[in-house]
Structures are given as C-alpha cells and as structure tokens.
Structure 1
Amino acid sequence: MKVLFDVFELDRGHGNSLGIFRYAQELFQGLQAHASPEFELVLAGHGGNAADFPVTTPHARVLQVADHYPRHAQRLRWRVLGARQAMARSGAQLYFSPKGFLPWLGARRSVIVVHDLIPLWYAEAHPQHFRGPQRWLVNHGLRTACRRADELITISAASAVDIARRTGRTRHVHVIHNGLAPVAEPAVASEAPRGDYLFSVGSALPHKNLAGVLAAYRAYRQLSERPLPLVICGAPDTGEPFVTSVRGLGEQALQAHYRGAAAFVFLSRAEGFGFPPLEAMQHGVPVVCSDIPALREVTQGKALLVNPDDSRQAAEALLRATTPGEARERLREEGQVTAAQYRWEHCARQVFDVLRATALR
C-alpha cells in the first residue's frame, strides 16, 4: 500500500491554521514509525515546507509539487487535476488529507481529517466573514468533502456530532483525538513574565471570544482583593488596563508562559478539539474554559467549565482557580493526569489502522 500524504496547501506562515499544520507535522512523523514495504508514505508538498516534514525512514519520500507555497491558481489546479496526477505519478493507491478538503480524484480511495466545521459556524453566525468564491468553497467544498470521502477522521466526538448534523455523514466516521507533545524542561531561563499572572491564548476572530475574556477579567478584578494581571497571547493590543498582549511567541516562549501562569482562561465559542486548555493542564495550571461540547469532552471535567458569555460566572471560576487550597491543587493534579492521556503515537497508530483498513477494503 502506498499513501499520498497531502500537505501541498499547508505552510507555517501563509494563513493556514497553525493547529492543522502542527497536526500534519506530528502525524507524518508518527506514521513513519509504521512505514514498511507494505505501507509506504509519499508526502506531496512544496519547497517552502519540505524542511518541516523530515523523512526518517526509507519507506517514506517527498514528492515536491512546487518550488514554493502555491498561489491561488496553483491551489485550484491542485484540487481539480494536480492531486490526481500526483497519485498517478507516485503510484499511490490511497489519498490522505490532514486538512479536510477533498480534491477530485476520480475513483481513487480517500481518507480525510475534518478537524471541525467552524467555517460553517461562521457562515451561519458571521456570514460576512466569507465573501464571493470563498463563501462557496466553505459551504459547498467542505460539505462535499465530508460526504464524498471514503473514510472520515475527526478529532472529537463533538465534531462527529456536528458533522452528522450539518452534512448528514454518520457512516465510516472515526473519532481519533489529537496528541500533545511531551513537556520538555526549559533549556534556558524562563521567557515568561515575572510574578503571578493569568494567561490566555486567543485572537480577534469572533469564535475566540476576546470580548468575553476581557469582560470576565474585568469582573474578576472587581471580585478579587488582589487581582492578578492578564497576559493574552495572539490577540491584538486591547488597550485594557492590567492586560498585556503578546504575539509571535516561539514554542519555547509559549510553553514558558503556560508554565508560569497562576491560571489559564479560554472562553472560545466553537472548537473542534481545544489544544490550549490541555497544554495549560500539562503544566499543572488550573483551567477555566467554555462549557461547550469539545472542551467538555477533552478536559474530561478536570477544568472549571463556564458559560463563555457569563462574565460573572467566569470571574468566580478564576477566583477559585487562583485561591490556594485543596480545590486548586486537585485541579492542578487531575489536569496533568488528563493531559498525559493525549499522545501523538496513539493518534498515529489509530490513523494508520484506518488507512490500512481502507486500502484493504
């Protein structure tokens, strides 16, 4: 069996979801542990991302389809004809996409990973977010991919329910949770702020609910006798007093910010999985996060779950998370135990099983 692993449209710095990019990296690395003469991997990529997907086995190789990140016309051609040609050129019998969109492949077998249907949430809740051809691609392309793929992998039971509700797809759907990289000891002095602080990861995108985080923080300051400052990674400068926005953190600096936090707050309105709360839990940091299906599932009840639009409830949870005592220590310990269950080698093994079974059907 030869599998075409499609990362042609993925790149660290060109507007793709960093979460999907990291997923593809970790999964390609993990799948190589299962590579053999009976299971060969062909990575379809471009010159700009070749170094991000190192080959570590003689049973994997790279098919460089372009010299650099593809432009719009190249991406369209890839979906219409290029992917099919790459399958024939490489001799692959099975197409695999970690991104969720499905190009035209004729009668070739396919497995795709649909992380979430947040783009369809935007089409309903914020229709102005997508315009023209992009709106069509989201509404038609994503739904069509969900319906046409031979096998569909998704990253949470919550996403599987959403896929069934929005596209009608219920058969040949596999729930395989993401993994987390092991926490490494810091190699240099901490790059986190000095002193105690609250930490959050987000952006200005509506589903990340930055306004809700700020409202909860203002309510927390009114409740606490000694309120801590808030540091937000990834969001633009808010202009709020006692709030610091940081952007462009490297992986080591980001992990240092998690490690040094007194508590972590994440009030997203829509998620397919939710890396940030689990990354905080890895470091023994108490988590306050939205009571939405995906976060409820992956945190397994070991976070303080709140209504993302109830600032008072979130503020009270932050106060509990930062108050020394048995309850806070239990959150720290149980959070670390929960996060330790998510490993990339487990994820890769389950994806390998789906790929192998699909090829043998």
Structure 2
Amino acid sequence: MAATADQRFPEPGLELVVSGWAVSSPFGLGRAGFAEGLRSGRRAVAPVDPALWPVPYAEAGLIPGFDIREVLGRKGTRSMDRVTGIAVATVGMLLADYGRSLAADPEATGLVLGTSGSVQSIMDFTRDALTGEKPYLVDPAAFPNTVMNCPTGQSAIRHCLKGPNVTVSGGAATALLALQYAARLLRGGHATALLAGAAEEFSVQRARLERAAEHGGDEPEPLGEGAALFLLEQGAAARAAGREVLATVLGSRFRAFQDPDRAGAALERCVVDLLAGAGVLADDVALVVPGGSPGLLGKQEDAALAGVAGVRRFVRPLLGDATAASAAFQLAAVLAEREDRPELADRLALVTAVDRDGTVGATLLRLN
C-alpha cells in the first residue's frame, strides 16, 4: 500500500505508541483478570484433566474454560483450531475496547501476529492423509489450519482488517519481533494503525513434542497458552482519536547466538545498543520484565541484565511456558504494572527474551 498524497500515513522518525491492549491468558479472558492475577502473584498453572488432555504433563496454564464456539459463536468456527480461536477472540476484544474509530478506514488498519501455528492441526491432517482409505480423502476445511498464517488471516477476515496482514515466528522472542515489524510498516507508510502481538495454543501434540525436545538437561516446564495484542499507531493519531497513550516504543534490538553460553553476551549487546540508540542510561530503567527461562538460558539472561537498574517482574512462573506468546505476556505485564503504579509515568521499561533456538531480543518502552 503506497502512501497517499495527503500524507495520512506516519513518516519515518515519528512517535509510535501503544494505545490499547487485550489479553487472553491462563488468568482468563481480558485485561482485568490478567492484571489481578499478576498483582496477587497467583499461579495460574493447574492440574490438567488427563481424560481431556492425554499429555505427558501433570500441569498446564490453560485459558479457563475456553471453548471456541462459546466465545465466538457457531458461525464460521466449525473447523477453527484452538490457536486461531484464541487469536480471533483476542483481536475482537482489542477492537471492541479501542477500535471503533479504526472501522472508518479498515484498509489502513492491519495485523502483525506472531505465532508458531498449530502443530496439532498439522499432525492431525497428516495422520488423516496417511491412515485414510485414500490420501486425498481428507477434510478440505481442515487444511487452512495447517498453514502458519491461518490465525492472522482468519482474525483479519472476521474483524474486517484490510491493511497489512503479516505472520511472524521467532520462539520466545516472537511478540518483540512482531512489534518491531509493525513499527517498520508504520514508519514505511503502509498503514495508520496496526494490531501487533502473539498467540499460542496448548495441545496434545505440542505437549508431546515439547516434552521430547532438548531442554539443556533441565526438566521441561509446564506449558501455557494465550495471546496478547497491542494497538500500535502514531502518537498524534491516537490523541486525535481520544485514545490514551499508554507507552511509547523507543526501539528493539535482536541478535543470534549459536552456543548457549554466548546467549548472555548477545543479549547484553542488544541492550547496550538499544539504550544507546534511545539516548538513555541503564540506571534510567525503572522496570525490567525478562523472559525468565529456567537453567542456563535464564542464567545467561540474568547476567546480561546485571548492569540494568529497575524492578524485576516475572510472568513465566505464573503462566507456564507460553512459547510464541511469552514476550506478549511480558509486554502486557508492563502495561498492567503501569496501571497499578502511577509513579511509573514517564519511566522506562525493558522487555527481554532468550529463545533456545538461538534468538535474543530486547524492546524498550517509555511509559505514559
């Protein structure tokens, strides 16, 4: 989408802000339950019913009672898988709370969603092709679920978002990558507003694969699920529409590592470059929300952040390993903390992520 002559799209260098958010988490659907759960320190990971979830885990962080048809209705949900339902529901909550004025220009509003897709859908479809009487006698309605961008596309179709539609995947750093991608689209003049965030599902096949994966010798954590979406737009546009500026995005940095022993050095370089680019000092940071991985990667992250000031907040022990949605929950925790602590106004918050597949990332926000 090219910028029009009247320059309605943001120009490079303009202030990009978060002016809304929505979350579906093991604390329930909505911001209030999420904020209350964090405030109380309540652990939302709970025993799973083995009759419903025959998985090699005793506990998981499930969205309580989440049923796609009960939340979204029967129309258009017959073949919808869990991650798509979670994404569609969360996008709907965000638009219901903040997006009325966006409906006037749907072609300028888009979605950047981070997700790993649905391994359950992929493996179920493959199984049907291998075990059916004929390989092509599969349910064609189930095929779209096997494509990673299905949650993003279905969310846009259901909620009439006609702007850029992008799917991003990057493990624990997924939401930070999605936010950075959305910022680039806005600065490039491809939209006036973007919903950016990430979603993850709990499933039998994901649980089995995660249990068998390499965890550096550590016992696998309970898995979590959910989504968090953020409304990203130009500050002037948010204020003109009467939306409160919750935070200003000052930037993000990402690096790769091959040896887990080098993860900390890679993340530290990200943080140093990020703070320098924003013209601030490590002592200026008031709030830090790390990924909080267990074992070696967690120790590497702690070492990388040793020189950064600020109160630490951890959400992973409360919600489980949400994989693609991990950093989305961390960003949501920053906004929830700001609501609880007025003294954080005009202070800096840092969110970091370390993924076992070799990606580190950091995002810096100025809270309003």
- Normalised by the length of structure 1, the TM-score is 0.26
Larger Rg: 1
- Normalised by the length of structure 2, the TM-score is 0.26
- Larger RCO of the pair (alpha carbons < 8 Å, separation 6+): 2
